[in-house]
Amino acid sequence: MKKTVTTLADGRELIYYDAADDAVREAVDQRPLDAVSTSSEIRRDPLLGDAVAIASHRQARTYHPPADACPLCPTRDGRHSEIPDDHYDVAVFENRFPSLAGDSGRCEVVCFTSDHEASFADLTEEQAALVLAAWTDRTAALAALDQVAQVFCFENRGAEIGVTLGHPHGQIYGYPFVTPRTELMLRNAARHHEETGGNLFDDLVAGEEKDGSRVVLATGHWIAFVPYAAHWPYEVHLHPRRRVPDLRELDEGARTEFPRVYLELLRRFDRIFGPGEPPTPYISAWHQAPFGAPGRDGFALHLELFTIRRTSGKLKFLAGSESGMSVFINDVPPEAAAERLREVASQ
């Protein structure tokens, strides 16, 4: 992999990740851009103890542009975009409309491919490996920033999820605090260790593998399963068999095997609802240990992949119980979801 760091016309950082070591990235951003002005503010909720990012400048962000005006496509035929070069393998840049900025953290956009019509599931294993390398490199880079306490790499796919740019891409958030979801995991892991002496993540994975009814696929270095208390209609958790706190600690075997496993999961998701159905909307989220937090060494890196589509033509909405009280109601039994995801395996 070759990494090339440059800047856009307004001073934001842009990084190219190329599979070829001899790739040359000398294109200059020709757009007359003003300096980025953000108004991000982190406010604490005194009742719940969590944080909310107030970011009014995001009201002006690009919203469902036509394909010939996509800001994530390469710069071609006189049309300028966020990527000055006329092609790229993987590109990462600072978000022009960040939810978090400055002392409040950092937001980056990850473009998986220059092909506007593709999806992550269309990538080759070599391309997916390059994305993994970019995620890992950005995790290491953001970990070095004083204002970043936790790195979150994720992808939103599909208009139903709320995606405003159709180009295959994801995001990376560098939070200035430990997220509530992670705090809850760490708290439960600490209690489990006090009560049993074991590691919650290890015991959870071992229990799922022993039961077997919710396992979707298992390989030498990875295991994927629908969790016992899945919140979403189709939800898969993907764990490396060797527990590590974040992407930087994956061994070579897990890195080598990840592209095949992850692409298989994404392709199964697109087959859940049968032929002729539109692509399955999903969120894919890496859970990584925060930096310097108590319990970090006992945390388990894992990826959570889920869809809000519960059946053909119907979505799972977060209504009163979910939105008002954070109590999920799942219409699809986890065992049935796992069985369906096994049925649609690649032949």
Identify the CA nearest to 56 among candidates 123, 101, 103: 101
169 belongs to the catalytic site: yes
Q: What SS3 class is residue 320?
A: helix
Can you give the length of the chain in residues? 347
Identify the CA nearest to 167 among candidates 107, 274, 265, 93: 93
* Active-site hit among 57, 80, 167, 169: 169
User: What Rg do the C-alpha atoms of the chain give, in angstroms?
Assistant: 20
Q: What is the DSSP string of 24-56?
A: ---------PPPP----EEEE-TTT--EEEE-G
3-class secondary structure for 127-168?
HHHHHHHHHHHHHHHHHCCCCCCEEEEEEEECHHHCCCCCCC
Q: Residue 127: which region, alpha, beta or left (left: phi > 0; alpha: psi -120 to 50)?
A: alpha
Q: Cα-flanking dihedrals φ and ψ of residue 87, to 5°?
A: -165, 160
- Which residues are annotated as catalytic? 169
